Structure 1
């Protein structure tokens, strides 16, 4: 089923919009600078992602104006296909990555999911951002009958409690938090 999906960016795409290295986005998030509030991002599989509308508007909210590269914005929209430009995370449907999918189905290992993806039995990702595949939760749930039909040993049973928490924005399982690294890890971003 085709759905209009919001345009999103990860660290790499956010940085490309402003013509900086991806590490700069981390610096904008760091406690010493804090020009980019971590609360503006959604966390999927332990990684931050932002709606494109917010990422484009970000440059106007800083003390020093940052100009968006319109060609990069147009390229990101073209790469993501038909969609819409969201600004706030509250506007977004539930989005999942591999860690959430493993919890939805209580898969014994990430290898089970990786095999399903590699063999084409899992639905194609809705986004590939900063090297990570992401899906609308409904894309994954719509594929359950086909997953069950093609399975040899996995039941592909859906944990409705996990699905409900993902839809409600209350999911706190694996992948729901960013694991900080480096010198700011103890301070907790």
Structure 2
């Protein structure tokens, strides 16, 4: 791929930027705390991710100033390779996790995708954030011919409606929402 990917952070990377436990990010998101607005994140496979630019300036926007750890930021950038620092979710290309990929190809199960990834037939993920693999939509679409060629029985047909929804930011299928857990679950919209 000739273009660079944006730097992203998940809960663990966000926490590393401020030298806090990853569970603190969930506390900052809690309706009772309202420190971190959930709408600042993008949701991929039911998990929130943030552009690194937003995450790095977040500490200066809170009532209680939090200093970003520039060494942690440098490590995140080094781990992700060549890229650029996006600030808003609107600046990001369409991103996929396993749930969106399963929906896009109408795969029979998560195990089918997991096996394809484990055997090296699926393209390498663009990110590994907080233990989860993420891909840019174009990374996956460019791999379709190779997926079809290596497949024994799956057609690897792309659902163009899902692709269009992902590109337009209107995707509402599996993985498009974070399901609230804990004491706030009943209060969730």
**TM-score (ref. length: structure 2):** 0.99
Residue 138 of structure 1 aligns to a residue whose secondary structure is helix
Deviating 4+ runs (over 4 angstroms): none
TM-superposed deviation, 1:101: 0.1
TM-superposed deviation, 1:2: 3.8
TM-superposed deviation, 1:186: 1.2
Distance 1:109 1:2 in 2: 32
Q: What's the counterpart of residue 12 of structure 1?
A: 12
Q: What's the counterpart of residue 40 of structure 2?
A: 40
Where in structure 2 are the equivalents of 1:106-121 lying within 5 Å?
106-121=106-121
Unaligned runs of 5+ in 1: none
Residue 16 of structure 1 aligns to a residue whose secondary structure is helix
Q: What's the counterpart of residue 31 of structure 1?
A: 31
Q: What's the counterpart of residue 183 of structure 1?
A: 183
Residue 125 of structure 1 aligns to a residue whose secondary structure is coil
Q: What's the counterpart of residue 139 of structure 1?
A: 139
Q: What's the counterpart of residue 171 of structure 1?
A: 171
Q: 1:150 and 2:154 equivalent?
A: no
Where in structure 2 are the equivalents of 1:81-92 lying within 5 Å?
81-92=81-92
RMSD: 0.8
Distance 1:2 1:109 in 2: 32
Distance 1:187 1:23 in 2: 20
**TM-score (ref. length: structure 1):** 0.99
